[in-house]
A and B are shown apart, each in its own frame.
Chain A
Amino acid sequence: MSYIPHTDVERQQMLAAIGVTTIEDLFESVPSRYRFPKLNLPKGLSELEAWAEVQAFAEANEHAGDYALFRGAGAYHHYIPAAVNHVLLRSEFYTAYTPYQPEVSQGTLQAIYEYQSMLCALTGMDAANASHYDGATSLAEAVTVALEASRRKRNKVVLHPAIHPHYRAVVRTYHQGNGVEFVGDTGKTIERTTADDLIKLIDDQTALVAVQYPNYLGNIEDFSKLVEATHNAGALICFVANPMALALFKSPGELGADIVVGEGQPLGIPLSYGGPYLGFFAVRDEYVRRIAGRIVGETIDHDGKRAFVMTLRPREQDIRREKASSNICTNQGLMALAACVYMSLMGRSGLRRAAEISYQRAHYAAKQINKLKGYKVNVGAAFFNEFPVKCPKPVSAINDFLIERGIIGGYPLEGDYPKLKDHMLVAVTEMNSKDEIDLLVEALAEAAK
């Protein structure tokens, strides 16, 4: 039967060794009334049949393999060199578990150590962990670090409203029982809030100020005054960063961040309908001992050879139990490996080049769309590869038209930002050729008619 190797003869031998006659005998401690319930589940299939079914599900989707995709909003379609997947498919990596036993896990440990080092380079931070579940939960964990750093004396968190709406929702879910006060991202004018507007919300109760870089609406804001005000108030500042943008723009470390978190998906991880992705988490030295989750350190073995091991373990849940600051155990390890392989392949010049191509093509698209009658793009703003477009019609109508032309259009913003009625958020990467962009522009023009 499928992946169960037992033969009838072996089963009998094993039962005899145990001293029972049937497998059912092994379940007598389960109350008989509840034992062996009927399962209303379908019958099993051969691999061949199951494959056909799964393939039919896959084919029912409209995806970036078949369509020109101009949607981002937190997940980006970048090129993934073929070698990334070949490494991920090494059984020795993906069928191992958390490297609790360093002697037989040096492969995973060293790869994570290299990942941590690359992430530090990218973010300008001193230390990174081996991952959180995604960008959103990384931000939720950053809130915890800041609360702990204030020794739980402060309980206010300022959130920039142009942080991804899902991230702000997740942070609230995580902290609903802790009496944390979240400010900054509510009210009638959040669409217009700038970093400087947040300064007046910072006080001596503020543990953390969080911003996104580039922000959810694509802009690269000037955070210098906000960073200064945050530090003057004795609070920490966290940047939620797009790692691809960091290949081109100043690192958050250079801009004064204390914690940098974000979604590592653009680093060699496919869109995959939202997961598995990679929550990255990096801090300045002062906060390294407050990081939750796994972290790998360099050391030596008994013979003095370089070796790697999970370190700072006592703060984790298996040792600290109810006093641990987070319950995280399983993380997104394989995705950290993907990012590590991706960054190795792209390297110093390649990653920057991919970012530059994305930048140039996005700016070209913005300019072309802004020329269209009825559409408006704020082409004067500083942005990386994503920008809002004001459309002459509801976004859903435009997108219905685009899909007929083989294009998946931008993401509607009105749901999260009511004042941005008829606005779509358009993302462009190195995957979108000039022809594709021209096709989009042409289709948008027609859709307006």
Chain B
Amino acid sequence: MSSQTPSELKYARTDEYLRLEGENATIGISDFAQEQLNDIVFVELPEVGAHVAQGEPFGAVESVKAASDLLMPVGGTVTEVNSQLSDEPELLNTSPYDKGWIVKIKVDDPSEANALMDAAAYIEYCKTR
């Protein structure tokens, strides 16, 4: 597997990553996920201010052949969305961890992140799929 899995991030089983910084966090999809989806053509973003609970959908990504919901790795309130993705959805393919971030949130309860996988566990999990 050639995809990257930065060790400072946490990962959900549904392939969203979480970059936790105090009570703020950045969310996107993993390199593995973007490879699976192939050319991403559209990203549906939430509204700033929306509150989304852990595991609930906050948006969706679409390729030509597939669509998948984006689920909140931890509950929180959306503080910023990456509106560049509306014009350049391919950023999710080319730079999933940097320019291709999807939303920033204010986290309800950072301990919810304990339910997520660390990089090593996620790599193992991806191998089983």
Contacts and interface: CB of A to CB of B under 8 A. Distances in A.
B109 interface: no
B42 A323 contact: no
Nearest to B63: A314
Contact of B42 (A289, A319, A320): A289
B49 to A, nearest CB: 13
A323 B64 CA distance: 17
B62 A314 contact: yes
B67 interface: yes
Nearest to A314: B67
A315 interface: yes
B121 to A, nearest CB: 27
Contacts of A314: 62-67
Interface residues of B, number: 9
A313 interface: yes
A315 B64 CA distance: 10
A427 B60 CA distance: 47
Contacts of A315: 62, 67
B69 interface: yes
Interface string A311-323: 0011100011001
Contacts of A323: 67, 69
A289 B69 CA distance: 15
Interface string B53-66: 00000000011111
Contacts of B64: 313-314
B42 A313 contact: no
A363 to B, nearest CB: 49
Interface string A352-387: 000000000000000000000000000000000000
Contacts of A313: 64-65
Interface in B50-102: 62-67, 69
Contacts, number: 18
A315 B42 CA distance: 11
A315 B63 CA distance: 10
A319 B66 contact: yes
Interface string B36-52: 00000010100000000
Nearest to B46: A151
A313 B42 CA distance: 12
Contacts of B44: 289
Interface string A299-317: 0000000000000011100
A308 to B, nearest CB: 15
A340 to B, nearest CB: 26
Interface string A32-68: 0000000000000000000000000000000000000
A320 B42 CA distance: 15
Interface string A390-420: 0000000000000000000000000000000
Contacts of B67: 314-315, 319-320, 323
Indicate the member of A314, A319, A320 with the most B CB atoms within 10 Å. A314
Contacts of B63: 314
A6 to B, nearest CB: 39
Contacts of B66: 314, 319
Nearest to A324: B67
A313 B44 CA distance: 15
Contacts of A289: 42, 44
A314 B89 CA distance: 15
Contacts of A319: 65-67
A289 B67 CA distance: 12
A323 B57 CA distance: 12
Contacts of B42: 289
A408 B42 CA distance: 53
A289 B63 CA distance: 13
Contacts of A320: 67
A319 B64 CA distance: 10
Interface in A227-284: none
A325 to B, nearest CB: 11
B112 to A, nearest CB: 22
B124 to A, nearest CB: 28
A323 B44 CA distance: 15
A319 B62 CA distance: 11
B29 to A, nearest CB: 15
Contacts of B69: 323
A180 to B, nearest CB: 21
A123 B123 CA distance: 52
Nearest to A311: B64
5 contacts: A313-B65, A314-B62, A315-B62, A320-B67, A323-B69
Interface of B: 42, 44, 62-67, 69
Closest 5 CB pairs of A and B: A314-B67, A314-B62, A320-B67, A314-B66, A319-B66
Given A314-B67, A315-B67, 16 more contacts: A289-B42, A289-B44, A313-B64, A313-B65, A314-B62, A314-B63, A314-B64, A314-B65, A314-B66, A315-B62, A319-B65, A319-B66, A319-B67, A320-B67, A323-B67, A323-B69
